[in-house]
Amino acid sequence: MSMPGQSRASRPGASGGSGPLTDAASLSVYARDASHLALGRPAAVYLPAGEPELRAIVRQAARERRPLVCRGAGTGLSGGALPGDGWVVLGTSRLLGCGPVDPLGRTVTVEPGLLNERISALARPSGLHFAPDPSSQSAATIGGNIGENAGGPHCLRHGVTLQHLRRLRWCDARGEPAGTGRGLPLERGFDLVSLLCGSEGTLGIVTSADLKLTPDGRSVATLLAVFPRLDDAVSAVVNLLGSGLLPVAVEIVDQAMLEAVEKAFAFGFPTDVEAAMILEFSGAAEETAGDAARAADLLRRGGARDVQTAADEAERLALWRCRKKAFGAVGRLAPSYVTMDVVVPLGRLPLLVRDIQDIKARWGVEIATAFHAGDGNLHPGVHYDDTDPEQARAAHAAADAIIARALELGGSVSGEHGIGIEKLHVLPWMLDAESARLHHEVKTLFDPQGLLNPGKLLPAPGASFAPCPEPPESVDFQWESLTARAPASACLADLQSAAMDRGLWVPLGAWLPRPAGSWGLATAGTVGEAVADLVTGPVLGGSGSVRDCLLELWAVTGDGRRFHTGAPVFKNVAGYDFTHALCGSGRVFVEMQAATFQLRPCPAHLGIWGLKTAGGVPLDWPALEPLLRRLRERPNQPGPVCLVDLEAPGGGTLIVTAPGRDTDWDLGALGRLVGECARQAGLECTAQAVVPFRDGPTELAARGLLPGWAAAGSDWDLLGLPAGAADPGQNVLPVRLRRAVLQADPWLVWTPESVTDPAPWFADAVCRGGRAAPLPRPAEDVPAAYLRGLKRIFDPDGRLETPAWLEEG
């Protein structure tokens, strides 16, 4: 879209092009945002039209030592985008570039000013969408979403913004361009994506992002349940998720919020009930219908007066419109409000809801609440009249009381909105002193002059910080909260086994053949190894990496200081995300002490299909490629993991394995697809079985399907295609391997053969002799100075491993 230069000239003080705007109107408007907070009046506003211009503005601000704040659409609620007196405001609303959607790689590259909702609109023709959907998504920019690590209702199943970033291009405090690596789903190293995402513009400015897109559900079922009692509604969510159902979203709106929404949209919600719940299932038609029926039954038994299914797409969209615009509709309740975004472990949600009732009574305030209930995340809004100082005082005291209570229950001060300036006073309540010190050191490393959004996010030095919580000494399951805490030394397989007894697991079943011929976790024997090495095998039944199911971390720096980061909750944007940044960083920066994982419903079954050519004709790649491509496109379900062994006796074998919930519509359908693909490729099916998921590895060996793999040895290389490098559909394999394990989504290849980088593919020698290999050299766009600086912060004396590339320079 073209942008006008001339029209701006009609505003006095506005020069042509992209600024600076210094007129009174600009300085007044850009001093405010959706947070209702105030900090100061900027000196100038810039709206750059391209990345070079953006960097020039940052360079100039650095030269003039002028603080700078980046702003998207100004929909943030914690004051993160507010300027102080004399600052420069850098608006991204004209950075609207966007690359073509890559339907096979499921990615798209976008500039920061693009509106969140627009991304899904662009991806829709490819059957994809951008899953993070903050309620402000119609106006909020992706740049702002990344800065705050935004969530949204549909993050329950799909994860928050961080889990949808493959790679970032950013500009540092000096205005220099930088990247974050190759965008491989299992890229080992200190993860700058995790560090920058949610850093509220205090470390760097994102100039473009490679986003992960999510396949649309083939069918969607949206339920509306009304509960006479709010307590029942909240308890029903805990029971529902504990029963093994995983909706894409579970939202609750309480009575006060219902009234506001009804005034705004006249949807026809009953206002005589304490809560309405919106639930959404997505997947295969049989799956959503079955899940919706089971959920409706559970909810009715849990106290729902009425459960209805949205009749059509229009009704579904109307429901979501009511929910998503609820926060704007609160303007109908009172002129001012303070909205929180606390999050607690799911099992503690009923306790917090009860306590909020007490707080309400004690402070004599009105509170309306919308819940991302499945996440344990809630937005209690305390309403008041800001012309009455007494009311304002009570409202803020009640808000602090709610936050304090959420922390006592093991939660976080912020699940979505960020710290900004709004929660600076409560952040120390949950950070330990060591973690706070690391925050400041990292900030100084990236922004030595303190010019990038100063005074935001960082805990005040000298504040009274929380004590570092004690790490768990043994595996500790919180079944109602769907979390598992474990010391680094705990055996991951034991943890998984105990979880599977309850129909749950940590979705990182990384399986590679072991030297002994059996199957199991390749190198990630312990929890600590899994976290440090990012689990170096194909993820069967999951679709991400350890980073996606890690919630909380205890670690020790090289000089022996223990710190704690994260929280046992599904969303957390309080401070820098060291939890995910350190995950996969090997043993270079810290030593892992303990971790908390999120538990998910475990697949019930594993489908196994063994294929080979007829009549002893050797199996070859040209025959396999179209087959693998089609299996990869299997929509909505976790992609299969395929084992190719061209050395196997009798001309080579292909083994397809896939997790499934059901033997009929799920694995049955996949079986038919495998059969059809095999016929087309001239292959015959020699084995076919559906076995209990957890017995998969032993079953494969017991059926004699892996004769050649025992000889494969214990060295493994991982091959991956960097984000945006090429169409992965055209590159099933970069080199003609004889033995390979292929993971469909994301597309990764493990091989026991030693491979060097076959450009544009990247090869990582993940496993040598059964142990994790040293961290690979990072991509060239990752500034080495920052990595060396991080090493100095976390391991000042160099007592931990130091790869050769980190010592250079």
The only residue of 80, 84, 91, 610 in contact with another protein, by rule CB under 8 A:
91
Cα–Cα dist 727/156, whole Å: 30
- Contact between 327 and another protein per CB under 8 A: yes
DSSP letters, 583-633, are: TT-TTSSEEEEEEEEE-EEPPSEEEEEEEEEGGGPPP-HHHHHHHHHHHHT
Rule CB under 8 A: say whether 74 interacts with another protein.
yes
Which residues, 126 to 145, sit near another protein by CB under 8 A?
A: 136, 138-140
* Cβ 246 vs Cβ 601: under 8 Å: yes
Strand order in the sheet with 88-91: 44-46, 88-91, 68-71
Smallest distance, Å, CB 515 to another protein? 57
Which uninterrupted H or E stretch holds 368? strand 366-372
Q: How far is the CB of 329 from another protein (least distance, A)?
A: 4
328 or 503: whose CB is closer to another protein?
Answer: 328
Closest approach, Cβ 200 to another protein, in A, equals 17
* Minimal distance, residue 45 CB to another protein, in Å: 9
Query: Which among 702, 698, 692, 615 is positioned nearest to 661, based on CA atoms?
Result: 692
CB 338 within 8 A of CB 399: yes
Choice between 365 and 555, CB closer to another protein: 365
3 sits near another protein (criterion: CB under 8 A): yes
Which of 20, 30, 184, 787 binds another protein (CB under 8 A)? It is 30
- Among 15, 29, 99, 710, which residue interacts with another protein (rule: CB under 8 A)? 29
Look up residue 339 and give its two tokens.
């909205």
Q: Is 637 left (phi over 0), alpha (psi -120 to 50) or beta?
A: beta
Q: Does 26 engage in binding with another protein (CB under 8 A)?
A: yes
Least Å from the CB of residue 248 to another protein? 23
Q: Using DSSP, state whether 805 is helix, strand or coil.
A: helix
Closest distance to another protein from the beta carbon of 114 (Å): 11
CA distances from 597 to 235, 340, 547 (A): 22, 25, 10
Which residue, chain included where needed, has tokens 């005034």?
A: 263
Task: Evaluate whether 404 touches 438 at the Cβ level (below 8 Å).
Answer: no
Among 329, 581, 678, 775, binds another protein (CB under 8 A): 329
**Based on CB atoms, which residue is closest to another protein, 96 or 466?**
96
Q: How far is the CB of 324 from another protein (least distance, A)?
A: 9
Does residue number 335 form part of the binding site for another protein (CB under 8 A)?
A: yes
Residue by residue, DSSP assigns 85-98 as TTPEEEE-TT---B
Q: Does 80 bind another protein (CB under 8 A)?
A: no
Residues 586-645 that bind another protein (CB under 8 A): none
What SS3 state is found at 160? coil
What distances in angstroms separate CA 274 from CA 304, 384, 758, 772, one per listed residue?
11, 21, 60, 53
CB of 413 to another protein, least distance (A): 22
> Of the candidates 446, 448, 449, 457, which has an alpha carbon nearest to the alpha carbon of residue 418?
457
User: For another protein, which is the closer residue by CB, 118 or 632?
Assistant: 118
Among the listed residues 115, 184, 284, 431, the single contact to another protein using CB under 8 A: 115
Nearest alpha-carbon partner for 155 in 175, 179, 137: 137
Q: Which stretch binds another protein (CB under 8 A): 51-59, 101-109, 331-339, 535-543?
A: 331-339
The reply to whether 1 sits near another protein by the rule CB under 8 A is yes
The CB-of-379 to another protein minimum distance in angstroms stands at: 13
Q: Which helix (H) or strand (E) holds 392?
A: helix 389-408
Please give the residues from 244 up to 273 whose contact with another protein meets the rule CB under 8 A: 263-265
DSSP string spanning 34-72?
Answer: TT-------SEEE--SSHHHHHHHHHHHHHTT--EEEES
2 binds another protein (CB under 8 A): yes
Which CA distances in Å does 415 have to 253, 377, 684, 764?
17, 6, 51, 34
Of the candidate residues 330, 426, 606, 723, the single one contacting another protein (CB under 8 A): 330
From the CB of 265, what's the least distance to another protein, in Å? 8
Kindly report the backbone phi and psi dihedral angles of residue 459, in degrees, each rounded to the nearest multiple of 5, phi listed first.
-65, 140
CB of 451 to another protein, least distance (A): 22
Decide: helix, strand or coil at residue 738: coil
Applying CB under 8 A, among 63, 308, 317, 332 the residue interacting with another protein is 332
Site for another protein in 337-356 (CB under 8 A): 337
Residue 331 binds to another protein (criterion: CB under 8 A) = yes
- Residue 73 or 556: which CB sits closer to another protein? 73
x-or-dash string of contact with another protein, 40-69, rule CB under 8 A: -------x----------------------
Please tell me whether residue 801 adopts helix, strand or coil conformation. coil
Residue placing its CB nearer to another protein in the complex, 8 or 600:
8
Within residues 753-792, the interface with another protein by CB under 8 A covers: none
The contact mask relative to another protein for 198-227 (x = CB under 8 A, - = no) is ------------------------------
The distance of closest approach from Cβ of residue 170 to another protein in the complex, given in angstroms and rounded to an integer, is 21
326 binds another protein, rule: CB under 8 A: yes
For another protein, which residue of 79, 103, 113, 459 counts as binding (CB under 8 A)? 113
Q: How many chain residues interact with another protein (CB under 8 A)? A: 54
Please count the helices (runs of H) and the strands (runs of E) in the chain: 24, 34
Neighbouring C-beta atoms of residue 64, cutoff 10 Å = 11
Among 10, 464, 474, 730, binds another protein (CB under 8 A): 10
Of the candidate residues 15, 17, 23, 469, the single one contacting another protein (CB under 8 A)? 23
738 binds another protein (CB under 8 A): no
Applying CB under 8 A, the span of 27-35, 403-411, 701-709, 794-802 interacting with another protein comes to 27-35
Distance CA 5, CA 461 (A): 44
Q: Considering only residues 550-569, where is the footprint of another protein by CB under 8 A?
A: none
Instruction: Please check whether residue 106 is in contact with residue 213, taking contact to mean a CB–CB distance below 8 angstroms.
Output: yes
Residue 95: CB minimum distance to another protein, A = 9
Taken as a whole, the chain contains a residue count of 809
Nearest approach, Cβ of residue 120 and another protein (Å): 12
| Shortest CB 91 distance to another protein, Å | 7
Residue 700 CA from chain centroid, whole number = 33
Instruction: Check residue 7 for interaction with another protein (CB under 8 A).
Output: yes
Alpha-carbon distances, residue 709 vs 349, 513, 766 (angstroms): 48, 7, 18
- What residue has token string 């929660």? 423
- Cβ closer to another protein: 340 or 534? 340
CB of 714 to another protein, least distance (A): 55
Judged by CB under 8 A, the stretch of 60-68, 115-123, 288-296, 567-575 that binds another protein is 115-123
Q: How far is the CB of 144 from another protein (least distance, A)?
A: 10
> Would you call 643 helix, strand, or coil by DSSP?
strand
CA pair distance 250, 503, nearest whole angstrom: 20
Interatomic CA distance for residues 90 and 785, integer angstroms? 26
d(CA 408, CA 321): 34
- Our CB check for another protein shows the closer of 159 and 418 to be 418
> Can you give the binding site for another protein, defined by CB under 8 A?
1-4, 6-8, 10-14, 21, 23-26, 28-30, 32-34, 36, 47, 73-75, 91, 93-94, 96, 113, 115, 117, 121, 136, 138-140, 263-265, 325-332, 335-337
